[in-house]
Structure 1
Amino acid sequence: MEALITLFSEPAVWAALATLMVMEVVLGIDNLIFISILSNKLPESQRQKARRLGIGLALVMRLALLSTIAWLVGLTATVVDFGITGPIGANGEPNFETNFSWRDLILIAGGLFLLWKATKEIHHNVDPRPSDDIFDTAKVTIGFGAIIGQILLLDLVFSIDSILTAVGMTEHLVVMVIAVITAVIVMLLAADPLAGFIHRNPTVVMLALGFLLMIGAVLIADGFGVHVPKGYIYTAMAFSAGVEALNIWSRRRRERALAQTPAAEGDGL
């Protein structure tokens, strides 16, 4: 206890904690969007259970990874090297890497899964007719276990990315734990409102799927050593969300105006 008091008496620790909490919450948005879209495919009685279970698994996975930081950091060591040097960029570094660590391979696999899943969901929303494709996981009849399995797979990818970000920002385990738990609590509180908002506004589903496509592409690029600044990604997402919010506001105003028109005409008679 005395060690914790000494640790948190340092302003730098509080600054690192605040920064890391914000970063973890922002990184959790990607995870939450995926969970919300998938859980909305279940019967209404199972949706909340799926969301809470998915977020709970995300917390367990993050805490488990934090308890094995030495092993997790080892995931950044090269395991595959093709010995090919990419074109040299303006900064004197190769534009992409051909030596891969386990982290890189996991990010690439997770990015490919996100691209595949988001594309399937877009196809299902644009052309909702029944399909005979046995690989079409966008079917409404998908089971609870399959949904949890897909959430668990992406929880793993996002958890590794989240914890490695935390390790790079601070060396204090207790700070990482507090930031991760805070981020998961925010996800838990936001899960139901976000899923309900997506369910009530079908156009938001397409926007969210577009976000997942972009996130998948960024994960693949990161796996190949092409680091896209997160600020660019979330600025683009925020701008798109703002435009969609204006569209929703405009549509609701038109609907209210149409709903009031017959009453107004009746009063005039």
Structure 2
Amino acid sequence: MLELLSDPAVWASFLTLTVLEIVLGVDNIIFISITAARLPESQRRAARLIGLGGALVLRIALLMSIAWIVSLTAPVVTLFGHGFSWRDAIMLAGGLFLLWKASTEIFDEVEGEEEGHTAAVASFGAVIVQIMVLDLVFSFDSVITAVGIADHLPVMIAAVIVAVAVMMIAAEPIAGFVETHPSTKMLALAFLVMVGAALIADGFGVHFERGFIYAAMVFSAAVEALNLLRAKRRRAKAAKAEQAAQGR
């Protein structure tokens, strides 16, 4: 252990992996925040913490089962000339679930209020189950990334713990921001659709470079930030004009 702490290469892999785990965890946080928003206000924080705590437990458990994870990439069935592994099955199931969940949320946002009703409040147990299902998919992707970057299990576990701790701190402000700005929530749901499509493609053996996906997310988020800034300035200008009119 002391040799690991004194090795600069180990620290470099730890920092790199921690940053990547945080980046990979952003879509997990968005999903948890949107799903937890179905609960009463008093239960949302607990759902987010339980969801992220479950993600931490799953990732550590998977990291300690590296040999099993590697074996999941071996084809177990061949359909239409393509070999599917258990990993492919997990990616396909997770991607389909993510598409279903994001599409349902988008429908509720667009059509729900027009039909004169609000979305039903979900039960705490149902929300936790949904969060844990996606935690499993995101954790699998996270562990594959960790195995590919770091060579030592303690380094992988330490990076995952730090990343999830950062996610726990960031979850509440991200959730509040998404709920306060409806357009941002729609953009986040669009991100989830894109991630779900990428997972399905991975399941069929078609790999999309994650860098392109995150670059698209960053660009869209930057445009959204500019739109929010413009809207804020317009409201401030309108408020000043109203005050000036009242002062006359």
Q: TM-score, normalised by structure 1?
A: 0.88
Aligned match of 1:201: 181
Aligned match of 2:95: 111
Aligned-residue offset at 1:130: 9.0
Aligned match of 1:77: 74
**Match for 2:48 among 48, 51, 55?**
51
**Match for 1:39 among 12, 36, 39?**
36
Matches within 5 A, 1:1-269: 4-82=1-79, 84=81, 98-129=82-113, 139-267=119-247, 269=248
Q: Does 11-20 or 181-190 show the bigger shift?
A: 11-20
Please list the CA deviations of residues 163-188 of structure 1 after superposition, one character each: whole Å capped at 9, or x if unmatched.
11111112200110011001101110
Q: CA RMSD in A?
A: 1.5
How many corresponding residue pairs?
A: 246
Distance in 2, Cα, partners of 1:48 & 1:37: 12
Quick check: which has more Rg, 1 or 2?
A: 1
Code of the aligned partner of 1:143: S
Structure 1 unmatched ranges of 5 or more: 85-97, 132-137
Distance in 1, Cα, partners of 2:8 & 2:206: 34
Distance in 2, Cα, partners of 1:28 & 1:154: 11
Distance in 1, Cα, partners of 2:176 & 2:207: 33
Secondary structure of the structure 1 residue equivalent to 2:206: coil
Please list the CA deviations of residues 10-50 of structure 1 after superposition, one character each: whole Å capped at 9, or x if unmatched.
22212211111111111111111100111112111111011
Aligned-residue offset at 1:225: 1.4
Distance in 1, Cα, partners of 2:138 & 2:111: 30
Distance in 1, Cα, partners of 2:16 & 2:242: 53
Whichever structure has more helix as a proportion of its residues is 2
Please list the CA deviations of residues 51-102 of structure 1 after superposition, one character each: whole Å capped at 9, or x if unmatched.
0110111111111111222212211111112362xxxxxxxxxxxxx11111
Percent pairwise identity: 56
Secondary structure of the structure 1 residue equivalent to 2:76: strand
Q: TM-score, normalised by structure 2?
A: 0.95
Code of the aligned partner of 1:6: E
Contact kept? 1:42, 1:140, Cα under 8 Å: no
Q: Which 4+ runs in 1 deviate beyond 4 A? A: none
Aligned match of 1:88: none
Secondary structure of the structure 2 residue equivalent to 1:127: helix
Aligned-residue offset at 1:139: 3.4
